[in-house]
Amino acid sequence: MWSVRRRLATAAVVVVVLAGGTVGLWFLFHPTISPTPGCVVAGPSSSDTGSTGVSSNFTLSPAQTDNAATIAGVGLRLGMPDHAVTVALATAMQESGLVNLTGGDRDSAGLFQQRPSQGWGTYAQITDPVYASTAFYDKLRAVPGWATLDVTAAAQAVQHSAAPDGYAQWESEARAMAIAFTGEAPAALSCHDLTIPAPSTSLINVANAELGTAVLSGQHDPARGWALASWLVGHAQRLGVDQVSFDGRTWTAASGTWSPAGPANGTLALHQVPAAAG
């Protein structure tokens, strides 16, 4: 009897050890997964879509959001209305997925897959998001009656795509992004789980190139203030911005959300990660 009990006890210990080893091996080969950085654009409300309720939010990578911020920022500099920004964003979603591609069909490249052979500019120019966005808006403005065209028709009038119906699938997402980046809705863009390094480029230079001004902090009307706030959040990683406040709400990279904070007095403020010493 004693030997039987000892054998059972030994077997139990072996099972425990094996179980522990199994758990250890699981953790060894399945390490904790870090949250994926991303950005969320609030879906347009019923007042924008004509439907009831609120549509689903849209998600973008930080790189896509950075490019969307550039496209929208250039639109603001050129005085383009929200419809033009929607058309531009839908076009870039269809043509490149909001990625500044180094190539494409034939000699196409960049966010809008523009072609040097078709008079869009040099390769270096069309792969510069600011130049490419400016060129797109200039072509759009030259289309007779473009402001009355729907997104697909306006985009096709500029792009002359072999797949003209492709732009329609991005209209809802592009409209939501345009609402955020033109300041039509407050706190409509947020980015989460970002690692914010020191700025990789000058905020002043980027703001002047895209927005036509580097005067960001201070008093703004609601639409302008929220447009600038969304632009800053969209460029947060590149510009080293870890906090943006406007009109009683604050976004931080640490929280990844907009929260009530500060006076609702129409003042925009931002904070950048300090550059490394030396």
Q: Is the pLDDT of residue 124 over 70?
A: yes
Say what the pLDDT of residue 276 is. 72
* C-alpha torsion sign, points 12, 14, 15, 16: positive
For the segment 12-37, the average pLDDT, to the nearest whole number, is 52
For the segment 107-134, the average pLDDT, to the nearest whole number, is 97
Higher pLDDT: 12 or 241? It is: 241
What percent of the chain shows pLDDT beyond 90? 77
CA distance 163 to 158: 13
Range from 54-58, 179-183, 239-243 carrying the lowest mean pLDDT? 54-58
Say what the pLDDT of residue 45 is. 63
Say what the pLDDT of residue 52 is. 40
For the segment 65-78, the average pLDDT, to the nearest whole number, is 98
Strand ranges inside 38-126, DSSP E: 38-41, 58-60
For the segment 13-27, the average pLDDT, to the nearest whole number, is 40
Q: Which two tokens stand for residue 41?
A: 């654009």
Say what the pLDDT of residue 275 is. 81
Q: Is the pLDDT of residue 16 over 60?
A: no
Say what the pLDDT of residue 31 is. 57
For the segment 244-260, the average pLDDT, to the nearest whole number, is 98
User: pLDDT confidence of 7, banded at 50, 70, 90?
Assistant: very low
- pTM, to two decimals: 0.85
- 33 Cβ partners below 8 Å, 6+ apart? none
Strand ranges inside the chain, DSSP E: 38-41, 58-60, 189-192, 218-219, 241-246, 249-252, 258-260, 267-272
Q: Is the pLDDT of residue 25 over 60?
A: no
User: pLDDT confidence of 278, banded at 50, 70, 90?
Assistant: low
Say what the pLDDT of residue 163 is. 86
Neighbours of 11 (CB within 10 A): 10
CA distance 201 to 258: 25
Say what the pLDDT of residue 162 is. 86
Say what the pLDDT of residue 24 is. 46
Q: Which two tokens stand for residue 228?
A: 């600038």
In whole numbers, what is the pLDDT of the chain averaged over residues?
A: 88
Say what the pLDDT of residue 44 is. 72
For the segment 204-217, the average pLDDT, to the nearest whole number, is 98
Burial grade of 272 (CB within 10 A; 0-12, 13-18, 19 or more): middle
User: pLDDT confidence of 277, banded at 50, 70, 90?
Assistant: low
CA distance 155 to 84: 9
